Amino acid sequence: MTSSVKEMLAAANAAVPKITPAEAKAMIAKGNTLVLDVRDAPEIEKSGKIEGAHHVSRGMLEFRADPDSPYHDKAFAKDKTIILYCASGGRSALSGKTLKDLGYDKVFNVGAFKDWAESGGPVDKPIEAGM
């Protein structure tokens, strides 16, 4: 079965609800939430990240999220609400679908980091070079 990125994104967007920054802020305020940045490290170094967000690049997600993996990250728990984002919303949608496939139920895509920042969401500023 051949699939395209367009088809994969459509399936991911159908499986993972898209939420607004305001909805994400409300979920975060309730607690037991993992905000997950799936961008690559250079992107975060350049722009910063959502305040308190946990970083796992898209390429390592499955290894960090699977409790049976030797690389499992204890920040992942299936009882948590997980809110994902990236630069434009595509990688976070695909990541959300992956987490759903791994048995995580409460997974949401807030989309693009810039949308969060422009909405006034709190941001951990980037680290200056040499610091």
Residues 6+ apart with CB under 8 A from 59: none
Quote the number of domains for the chain: 1
**Domain CATH number, residue 19:** 3.40.250.10
Residue 68 inside a domain? The answer is yes
The answer to whether residue 72 sits within a structural domain is yes
pTM as predicted: 0.92
Segment 44-88, tens digit of pLDDT: 999 999 999 999 999 999 999 999 999 999 999 999 999 999 999
Residue 27 lies in a domain: yes
Inter-CA distances, 116 with 13, 39, 89, Å: 19, 14, 11
Judge whether 26 lies within some domain.
Answer: yes
pLDDT number for residue 131: 44
For residue 20, tell me if it sits in a domain: yes
DSSP string, 49-104: EETTPEE--GGGHHHHH-TTSTT--TT--TTSEEEEEESSSHHHHHHHHHHHHTT-
Tens-digit pLDDT profile for residues 33-55: 999 999 999 999 999 999 999 99
User: Which domain covers residue 24, as residue numbers?
Assistant: 5-120
Q: Encode pLDDT of 100-114 as tens digits.
A: 999 999 999 999 999
The answer to the question of residue 127 being in a domain is no
Strand boundaries in 15-60, DSSP class E = 33-37, 49-50, 54-55
On whether residue 128 sits in a domain, the answer given is no
Distance CA 129, CA 9 (A): 35
